[in-house]
């Protein structure tokens, strides 16, 4: 019994210790599992956070790329349009010369020849008045567009000087001409009331004629300066040759500008190019000249003689002028500006040597004698050339020898020029 009891107690003890051991082991296992789970959960959370931040980053990148894509698409569109524009063949610019029937016009292309062409249905035929600039299709030359009025060519066609720097003292040998120009232009501008009191109309314009380089432009500039008038210079030949089809419009513009800038003097150089005797020939060019002349006459008739716009015309060929331009009320004073005589040449030489450092041996009287037939522009060239001769020899004063060489050179050129026609005659015979 005691033995049995002993065994039973022992077993109980062992059982107890085993149970406790098992319990401890179980607890330890449970703790381990819990710890692992916690670690895994934490790791999972960290990964989620990392993924979320990557998503955010990718979303930002996506937005950035979308913006870039939009920008590139815009650029692409611009380049595509530019390319389309480059592929379109250029249009030819022309000027309407005449209207023929309802839907046809004669145009002068900017390259020179005139064509009879159709008007596209997109263009209103009413807009196509002579002188309008139009765009022509390259192949059919159909008028496809009308160019807007371009005011810019005004500047190109005219030379405008608010206050020219030429004084009467700068003009040599033309006292009589200066006197006459002063009477006709200066007096009406400065004292219009005198003419009113006396009851006569002052001339609207004067015509200066004479060989090139005799000082016609100088005269006009000097009178503009003296009367504080704006000097507007246009060249007749340019009006009809350089600005094809725009001559008449330009004349209108010139007078408009002259009125805006009044008092003013319009100086039309080479007026024979627009005012030559009219013929019955009806070539495009002749019509152009006629239209320009008609416009000039209309403008001259349209303004008040006592007003403050005066016109000075200049020509080397008075013999070919249309009588209409010389009628009273237009260019009713004609003044000859001849090549200077010896006295005139001396005066011109004095003017152009005013600022030159001359050696004592320089005798201007002798140079004036030597330069028979030279005009003012040539005398000026002689003075400049003499100065150049001195500079070539590194001198700061000009000698008589320099002048003699210059006279030889300039007069030599003159001779070649005179002989030219004979030479050509021989060639063409």
Catalytic residues: 420
Does position 213 interact with ligand ATP (CB under 6 A)? The reply is yes
Does position 105 interact with ligand ATP (CB under 6 A)? The reply is no
**Residues near 133 by Cβ (< 8 Å), separated by ≥ 6?**
93, 94, 95, 96, 146, 147, 150, 245, 246
Q: Are 158 and 258 in contact (CB under 8 A)?
A: no
Sole window of 33-41, 124-132, 256-264, 372-380 interacting with ligand ATP (rule: CB under 6 A): 372-380
CB of 371 to ligand ATP, least distance (A): 13
Taking CB under 6 A as the rule, which mask of x and - marks residues 311-330 in contact with ligand ATP?
---x-x--------------
Among 261, 380, 409, 414, binds ligand ATP (CB under 6 A): 380
Phi, psi of 314 (to 5 degrees): -135, 140
Among 94, 131, 164, 172, binds ligand ATP (CB under 6 A): 172
Does position 217 interact with ligand ATP (CB under 6 A)? The reply is yes
What's the rounded Cα separation, in Å, for the pair 169 and 273?
A: 31
**In terms of CB distance, is 123 or 208 closer to ligand ATP?**
208
Whether the upstream peptide bond of residue 388 has omega within 30° of 0, thus cis, is no
**In terms of CB distance, is 250 or 348 closer to ligand ATP?**
348
Q: Which residues pair with 427 in a beta bridge?
A: none
What's the rounded Cα separation, in Å, for the pair 271 and 317?
A: 9
**In terms of CB distance, is 136 or 174 closer to ligand ATP?**
174
CB of 425 to ligand ATP, least distance (A): 25
Sole window of 127-135, 151-159, 208-216, 412-420 interacting with ligand ATP (rule: CB under 6 A): 208-216
Rounding to the nearest 10 degrees, give the CA dihedral for residues 94, 99, 104, 108: -20
CB of 302 to ligand ATP, least distance (A): 27
Torsion sign, CA atoms 134, 137, 143, 148 = negative
Does position 214 interact with ligand ATP (CB under 6 A)? The reply is yes
Does position 376 interact with ligand ATP (CB under 6 A)? The reply is yes
Q: Are 317 and 272 in contact (CB under 8 A)?
A: yes
**In terms of CB distance, is 119 or 220 closer to ligand ATP?**
220
Query: SS3 for 370?
Result: helix
CB of 380 to ligand ATP, least distance (A): 4
Query: SS3 for 166?
Result: coil
Please report where in the chains the tokens 């008589």 appear, as a residue. Answer: 400
What's the rounded Cα separation, in Å, for the pair 46 and 316?
A: 102
**Residues near 406 by Cβ (< 8 Å), separated by ≥ 6?**
381, 382, 383, 384, 385, 386, 388, 389
Q: Are 161 and 230 in contact (CB under 8 A)?
A: yes
Q: Which residues pair with 315 in a beta bridge?
A: 209
**In terms of CB distance, is 204 or 216 closer to ligand ATP?**
216
- Which residues inside 118-157 make contact with ligand ATP, applying CB under 6 A? none
**In terms of CB distance, is 144 or 314 closer to ligand ATP?**
314
Does position 174 interact with ligand ATP (CB under 6 A)? The reply is yes
CB of 213 to ligand ATP, least distance (A): 5
Largest CA distance in the chain: 179
**In terms of CB distance, is 137 or 384 closer to ligand ATP?**
384
Rounding to the nearest 10 degrees, give the CA dihedral for residues 122, 124, 127, 132: 30
Taking CB under 6 A as the rule, which mask of x and - marks residues 257-296 in contact with ligand ATP?
------------x---------------------------
Sole window of 4-12, 140-148, 216-224, 272-280 interacting with ligand ATP (rule: CB under 6 A): 216-224
Does position 377 interact with ligand ATP (CB under 6 A)? The reply is yes
Does position 212 interact with ligand ATP (CB under 6 A)? The reply is yes
Distances in Å between the Cα of 28 and the Cα atoms of 37, 38, 171, 243, 307 are 14, 15, 127, 110, 123
Element (H, E) at 415: helix 400-428
Taking CB under 6 A as the rule, which mask of x and - marks residues 40-79 in contact with ligand ATP?
----------------------------------------
- Give the binding-site size for ligand ATP (rule: CB under 6 A): 19
What's the rounded Cα separation, in Å, for the pair 312 and 316?
A: 14
Contacts with ligand ATP by CB under 6 A lie at 171-174, 212-218, 269, 314, 316, 348, 351, 376-377, 380
């Amino acid at each position: 019994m005691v033995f049995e009891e002993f065994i039973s107690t022992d077993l109980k003890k062992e059982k107890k210790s085993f149970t406790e051991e098992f319990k401890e082991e179980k607890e330890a296992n449970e703790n381990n599992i819990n710890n692992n789970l916690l670690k895994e959960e934490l790791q999972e959370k960290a990964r989620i956070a990392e993924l979320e931040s990557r998503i955010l980053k990718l979303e930002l990148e996506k937005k950035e790329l979308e913006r870039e894509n939009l920008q590139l698409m815009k650029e692409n569109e611009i380049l595509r349009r530019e390319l389309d524009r480059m592929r379109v063949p250029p249009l030819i610019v022309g000027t309407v010369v005449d209207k023929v029937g309802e839907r046809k016009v004669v145009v002068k292309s900017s390259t020179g020849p005139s064509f009879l062409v159709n008007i596209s249905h997109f263009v209103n035929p009413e807009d196509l008045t002579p002188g309008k600039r139009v765009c022509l299709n390259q192949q059919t030359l159909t008028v496809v567009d009308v160019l807007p009025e371009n005011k810019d060519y005004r500047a190109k066609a005219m030379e405008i000087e608010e206050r020219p720097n030429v004084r009467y003292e700068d003009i040599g040998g033309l006292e009589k001409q200066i006197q006459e120009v002063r009477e006709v232009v200066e007096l009406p501008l400065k004292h219009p009331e005198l003419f009113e009191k006396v009851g006569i109309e002052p001339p609207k314009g004067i015509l200066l004629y004479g060989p090139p380089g005799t000082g016609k432009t100088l005269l006009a500039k000097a009178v503009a300066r003296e009367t504080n008038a704006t000097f507007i210079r246009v060249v007749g030949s340019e009006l009809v040759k350089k600005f094809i089809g725009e001559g008449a419009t330009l004349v209108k513009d010139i007078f408009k500008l002259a009125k805006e800038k009044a008092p003013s003097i319009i100086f039309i150089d080479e007026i024979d190019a627009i005012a030559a005797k009219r013929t019955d020939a009806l070539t495009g060019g002749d019509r152009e000249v006629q239209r320009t002349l008609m416009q000039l006459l209309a403008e001259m008739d349209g303004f008040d003689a006592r007003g403050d716009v005066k016109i000075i015309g200049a020509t080397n060929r008075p013999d070919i002028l249309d009588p209409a331009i010389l009628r009273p009320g237009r260019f009713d004073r004609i003044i000859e500006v001849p090549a200077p005589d010896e006295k005139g040449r001396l005066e011109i030489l004095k003017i152009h040597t005013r600022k030159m450092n001359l050696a004592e041996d320089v005798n201007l009287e002798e140079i004036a004698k030597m330069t028979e037939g030279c005009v003012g522009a040539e005398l000026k060239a002689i003075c400049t050339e003499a100065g150049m001769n001195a500079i070539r020899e590194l001198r700061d004063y000009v000698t008589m020898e320099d002048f003699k060489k210059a006279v030889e050179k300039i007069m030599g050129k003159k001779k070649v020029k005179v002989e030219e026609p004979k030479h050509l005659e021989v060639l063409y015979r």
